[in-house]
Amino acid sequence: MSHIHIDVENLNFSYENGTPVLKNLSFRASENDSVGIIGANGAGKSTFLKLLVGLNLNFTGSIRIEEIPLEKKTLAKIREKIGYVFQDSDSQLFMTTVGEDVAFAPRNYGLPEEEVEKRVQEALEKVHITHLRDKSIFKLSGGEKKLASLATILSMTPDMILLDEPSVALDPKNRRNLIHVLNEFEHLKLIASHDLDFIWDTCNRVVLVNHGEIIADGSPEEILRDGELLDANGLEKPLSLTGR
């Protein structure tokens, strides 16, 4: 039996002004899952991902990451296991060069400089951007920034990665490249997106969220081909499945 990596039970979360965002959400994901979390704007996808890495602890219910309950004192431990890729690469990449940014996490975890060096090299190789190492971030293209963002979390050698709208603002070539890179990463992936073609190409499981609740959970075949279901939740069938 494969290992349960993420175990969420009865998760409730509201904004400070009381607006509920997530309602009684339960969810499990195991080692080899590649889960697409889909839903229209404001469905609660991003909030869900942010809660999983403990960016907000004002929730009720329970979140367990690799059996460890998510709470203030386990934050550091849990964050070592999860990589989170922000929607806006410019927020993710705050150092001046790619190499320095990729080295940021390993250095913070107190690794010796040789090990940091090794991690940086490996991470850059995984996303095929070793040539960009000394380049300034502001000189990168949108696609390069996205890959660099991915490298900055791969250097932590996480057990799972969460991606928030990874395909936004990527041209077709960069998009295909990203799909390729993601499919090479064998661990658990959670991808929040309303780009259903992208989900189709990267995920083996799809969770449909609307108004903070899970509406459907199944294989991409099942959900992404169900035009009625998607339509009822503010989404549209992926182009590659419409047969046009």
- How far is 162 from 191, CA to CA, in rounded Å? 6
**CB-nearer residue toward other proteins: 50 or 225:** 50
Instruction: Tell me the chain's radius of gyration from C-alpha atoms.
Output: 18
Nearest to 62 by CA among 14, 25, 21, 19: 25
Which DSSP state fits 44? S
**CB-nearer residue toward other proteins: 54 or 238:** 54
**CB-nearer residue toward other proteins: 5 or 237:** 5
Question: At its nearest, how many Å lie between other proteins and the CB of residue 201?
Answer: 26
Identify the sign of the CA torsion 18, 20, 22, 26: positive
**CB-nearer residue toward other proteins: 79 or 237:** 79
**CB-nearer residue toward other proteins: 79 or 205:** 79
**CB-nearer residue toward other proteins: 117 or 226:** 117
Contact 219, 206 (CB under 8 A): yes
End-to-end alpha-carbon separation of the chain, Å? 40
Question: At its nearest, how many Å lie between other proteins and the CB of residue 104?
Answer: 5
Question: At its nearest, how many Å lie between other proteins and the CB of residue 137?
Answer: 7
Q: Which amino acid is at 181?
A: V
- How far is 24 from 8, CA to CA, in rounded Å? 10
Residues near other proteins, by CB under 8 A:
50, 53, 55, 76, 79-80, 82-84, 86, 88, 90-92, 94-97, 100, 103-105, 107-109, 113, 116-117, 134, 136-139, 152-153, 156
Question: At its nearest, how many Å lie between other proteins and the CB of residue 100?
Answer: 7
Helices 142-154 and 113-126 pack at an angle, to 10 degrees, of 140
- Report residue 173 as tokens: 């070539």
CA 164 to chain centre: 5
Question: At its nearest, how many Å lie between other proteins and the CB of residue 165?
Answer: 13
